[in-house]
Amino acid sequence: MGEYVDILDDTFSALAHPTRRKMMELLATKDLCVTELAAHFPDVLNVVSKHIKYLERAGLVKRQRQGRVHSLHLEVAPLAEASAFIERYRKRWERQLDRLGEYMDELQQTRTRNAKSKSKTA
């Protein structure tokens, strides 16, 4: 369980920054070398490199080196795990909200019945 939590922590932490999310969007369309990816951002190359390393640490990006060219590839497996985690909690919240809705409906029906019975006695 600990390793699974660490993977999720790394994934959600990586997704928390808008620059890294934009990088993932770009890499979802095609593999890019570091300089191609960096060209999409106003930051200096070393700042972009730090974001890339963050994504690599989370397993969201894989780097392939061919000489001086470093190509980046988006890895979706960590996203699937994060999605499964979110889905479990989404189902739980939907069940709880459904129960709350049923309770609110019952309250409304009770209030309506009480109001009708008061109007009959008045």
pLDDT per residue as tens digits for the range 64-96: 999 999 999 999 999 999 999 899 888 888 889
Task: Give the pTM.
Answer: 0.70
pLDDT per residue as tens digits for the range 30-43: 999 999 999 999 98
CATH code, 2-75? 1.10.10.10
List, in sequence order, every residue forming a beta bridge with 63; answer none if it has no partner.
72
* Own/partner long-range contacts of 94-102 (Cβ < 8 Å, ≥24 apart): none
Cα–Cα distance, 16 to 47 (Å, whole number): 16
